[in-house]
Amino acid sequence: MAPPQLSWRRRMNNLARRVGEGHPTLFAPLLRGAAAQIDAIDPLMMIADPTRLTKGLGELRRALALDVIVTATPCAMEAQALGTSVDASAWPRRVVAPVSPDVLATEDFSAVWERSPELGAALEATRRLAATLGEETVMIAALTGPATLAAELGGPQMIEFAARALAALTREFGQAGAAVIALIETTVPGEGWSDAITPVANVAKFLKMPTLLAFDGVPAPATWPAQVVACPAPGGEAIESVHGVALARDCARWNGGDAAGARIAITAGEVPPETPLSALTEAVSAWQSQLQA
Set out the domains of the chain in order of their start, with CATH numbers: 8-292 (3.20.20.210)
Three-state SS for 227? coil
From CA 166, how far away is CA 223, in angstroms rounded?
A: 22
Q: Are 92 and 160 in contact (CB under 8 A)?
A: no
- The 8-class DSSP code of residue 221 comes to P
Q: Terminal CA-to-CA distance of the chain, rounded, Å?
A: 27
How far CA 179 is from CA of 114, 120, 207, 212, in Å, comes to: 21, 18, 8, 11
The pLDDT, as a whole number, for residue 288 is 83
Order of all β-strands in the sheet with 264-267: 26-28, 264-267, 245-247
Q: How many residues does the chain have?
A: 293
pLDDT over 70 for what percent of the chain? 95
User: What backbone torsions phi and psi does residue 69 show, to the nearest 5 degrees?
Assistant: -130, 130
Per-residue pLDDT for 205 more than 60? yes
Whole-model pTM above 0.85?
yes
Per-residue pLDDT for 2 more than 50? no
- Extract long-range pairs of 93-98: CB within 8 Å, 24+ residues apart: 93/118, 95/152, 98/152, 98/153, 98/154, 98/155
The pLDDT, as a whole number, for residue 274 is 95
The pLDDT, as a whole number, for residue 99 is 85
From CA 186, how far away is CA 217, in angstroms rounded?
A: 6
Q: By mean pLDDT, which of 78-82, 207-211, 221-225 is the weakest?
A: 221-225
* Interstrand relation of 264-267 and 26-28 (parallel, antiparallel or unpaired): parallel
* Mean pLDDT over the full length of the chain: 91
The pLDDT, as a whole number, for residue 32 is 96
Nearest to 172 by CA among 209, 131, 214, 215: 209
pLDDT over 90 for what percent of the chain? 70
Q: Are 232 and 222 in contact (CB under 8 A)?
A: no
What is the band of 107 on the pLDDT scale with cuts at 50, 70, 90?
confident
When pLDDT is averaged across residues 202-206 and rounded to a whole number, the result is 96
Per-residue pLDDT for 101 more than 90? no
